[in-house]
Amino acid sequence: MSFKPKKSLGQHFLTDPNMIEKIVNALEAANTDRIIEIGPGTGALTQLLLDRFEDVHAIELDERAAEHLKEKFPDLVIHQQDVMKVNWSELKSETGATHVIGNLPYYITSPILFLLLSNRHLFEDALLMMQKEVAERLVAETRTKAYGILSVQTQLMSSVEILFDVSRHVFSPQPKVDSAMVRLTFDKGKLKCTEKHLKQVVRTAFNQRRKKMSNALKPLIQKYKPENFDLSRRAEELPPEEYEMLTVHLEQNGILT
Question: Which residues face 103 on adjacent strands?
Answer: 129
DSSP secondary structure string for all residues of 72-137: H-TT-EEE-S-GGG--HHHHS-SSS-EEEEEE--GGGHHHHHHHHHHTGGG-SEEEEEEEHHHHHH
User: CATH: 3.90.226.10, 1.10.8.100, 3.40.50.20, 1.10.579.10. Which one for 195-252?
Assistant: 1.10.8.100
Q: What CATH topology corresponds to 7-185?
A: Rossmann fold (3.40.50)
Structural domain boundaries of the chain?
7-185, 195-252
Residues comprising the chain, all counted: 257
CA distance 104 to 59: 12
Prediction pTM value? 0.91
What tens-digit pLDDT sequence spans the chain (257 residues)? 565 655 554 556 777 888 889 999 999 999 999 999 998 988 889 999 999 999 999 999 888 888 989 999 998 999 999 999 999 999 999 999 999 999 888 888 999 999 999 999 999 999 999 999 999 999 999 999 999 999 999 999 999 999 999 887 767 666 678 889 999 999 998 999 999 999 999 999 999 999 999 999 999 999 999 999 999 999 999 999 999 999 999 999 999 98
